[in-house]
Amino acid sequence: MTELKTETITVNMGPQHPSTHGVFRLILTLDGETVVDVEPVVGYLHRNHEKIGEYNNWIQNTPFTDRLDYISPMSNEFAYVLAVEKLSEIEPPERAEYIRIIMVELNRIVNHMIVVGFLLNELGCFFTPMMYCVRWRELVMDLYEMAAGSRMMPNYFWIGGVAADLPAAFLPQCKELVAALPGFIDELERLLTDSEIVQMRCKDVGVLPPDVAVAYGCTGPLLRASGVPYDIRRAEPYSIYDRFDFDVVVGTVGDVYDRYLVRIGEMRQSVRILEQALKDLPEGETATPKKKKFMPPEGDVYHRIEAPKGELGFYLVSDGSDHPYRYKIRAPSFVNLQSLPYLCRGHKIADVVVNIGSIDITMGEVDR
């Protein structure tokens, strides 16, 4: 039998593609159906966020961070205000600290709901599971709207506290939601965790060994699914996270299925933190007195938080004026995305899509 000549072909995937979570291009080198190499091309959503941030004043940048990872606006604001508070040595009041924790943990649940929903989308189960998860996201969005006046761009965190105290209806509604969430997560798991299709498509796909994950600088659920118990809320506790009792969820294999399980586990842990925060929420002030013109002292700081997607850090340089001299964002999606070629090599084209979904990227944050 004569040997057939084969050669690799190059295929462009994106920038307009339903599975790329925004405008994002992949250059795939294929050998038949098998992926030989992947080169991610980013920057289609670049608007030089950091440069615009240098022209804004310190206070204007808080709502501007909402536009980074628009799935988790509260986390972005949290990281930014903590960095500015570290720079200018402002202590927010106790009640504001608790409200912030409630908001960001709700945000983590929202983010993981979206990731789990989209993962099923990417497996080919088009939008039914997605809508199922988004329904619960909407309930959180209602709470955001009640507290901040806006669903997705809340501008609720202020330097030195939060914008306003919680309205009277917030706490009962939030408690009701938090009480109902574990039941819904159970239901979601009954539908997905043991599903044969989910297991076949996700197990042993895109395995990321722990040493490779650390080398690529991966953080968040992507790193923990590989079995590295690194959570900034534990490794370098910020705000009042040292007061709460929760577990760091880790995986064992580091495949797509483990990343799904870690996100499910983290939602349960967030519910635990929420229960404690709602129980301990003290009365009192929610913000330090505001200044008309905010000018932090000279200096530079880096502050990082465990955002739903991984380490979100802000490196701020102040020259003592009313706007930052340098405003740099260390975006978790941007760094995590570097592991994509490693995850995809040797798998089929269809698995590329699943791998993107399991990394969890938002282009608003990758491209900045």
Window 225-284: residues binding another protein (CB under 8 A) = 228, 230, 235-236
How far is residue 170 CA from its own chain's centroid?
24
Query: Which of 132, 238, 294, 315 lies at the binding interface for another protein (CB under 8 A)?
Result: 315
Query: Which of 78, 98, 216, 260 lies at the binding interface for another protein (CB under 8 A)?
Result: 216
Please tell me whether residue 175 binds another protein under the rule CB under 8 A: no
Question: CA 113, CA 133: separation in Å to the nearest integer?
Answer: 5
Window 48-107: residues binding another protein (CB under 8 A) = 48, 50-52, 54-55, 86-87
Please tell me whether residue 299 binds another protein under the rule CB under 8 A: yes
The partner residues of 315 in beta bridges, in order of sequence, read 302, 328
Q: Among 65-73, 198-206, 271-279, 308-316, which window interacts with another protein (CB under 8 A)?
A: 308-316
Q: Among 56-64, 66-74, 116-124, 323-331, which window interacts with another protein (CB under 8 A)?
A: 323-331
Query: Which of 203, 290, 291, 326 lies at the binding interface for another protein (CB under 8 A)?
Result: 326
SS3 357: helix
Structure token pair of residue 333: 């999606």
Question: In degrees rounded to 5, what are phi and psi of residue 58?
Answer: -60, -40
Q: Are 122 and 130 in contact (CB under 8 A)?
A: no
Instruction: For the chain, state the CA radius of gyration.
Output: 21
Please tell me whether residue 214 binds another protein under the rule CB under 8 A: yes
* Nearest to another protein of 266, 311 (CB atom): 311
- Dihedral, 214, 219, 222, 226 alpha carbons, nearest 10: 40
Q: Among 56-64, 172-180, 324-332, 345-353, which window interacts with another protein (CB under 8 A)?
A: 324-332
Query: Which of 64, 80, 158, 334 lies at the binding interface for another protein (CB under 8 A)?
Result: 334
Q: Which residue type does 259 have?
A: R
**Residue 92: CB partners within 8 Å, gap ≥ 6?**
85, 100, 160, 161, 162, 287, 288
- What's the closest the beta carbon of residue 334 comes to another protein, in angstroms? 7
* Nearest to another protein of 244, 314 (CB atom): 314
Please tell me whether residue 215 binds another protein under the rule CB under 8 A: yes
Distances (CA, A) of 331 to 35, 49, 69, 193: 27, 12, 9, 30
Question: CA 2, CA 205: separation in Å to the nearest integer?
Answer: 34
> How many residues in the chain?
368
Q: Are 109 and 188 in contact (CB under 8 A)?
A: no
Q: Which residue type does 274 have?
A: L
Structure token pair of residue 309: 């997607």
Q: Which residue type does 363 have?
A: M
**Binding-residue pattern over the window 13 to 52 for another protein, x denoting contact by CB under 8 A:** --------------x-----------x-xxx--x-x-xxx
Query: Which of 97, 105, 311, 351 lies at the binding interface for another protein (CB under 8 A)?
Result: 311
Distances (CA, A) of 87 to 91, 172, 295, 315, 333: 11, 36, 10, 10, 25
Q: Among 61-69, 118-126, 328-336, 354-362, which window interacts with another protein (CB under 8 A)?
A: 328-336
- What's the closest the beta carbon of residue 222 comes to another protein, in angstroms? 12
- Number of residues this chain uses to bind another protein (CB under 8 A): 45
Query: Which of 125, 155, 338, 345 lies at the binding interface for another protein (CB under 8 A)?
Result: 338
Residues in contact with another protein by CB under 8 A are 10, 12, 27, 39, 41-43, 46, 48, 50-52, 54-55, 86-87, 214-218, 223, 228, 230, 235-236, 299-302, 304, 311, 313, 315, 317, 325-326, 328, 330, 334-335, 337-338, 367-368
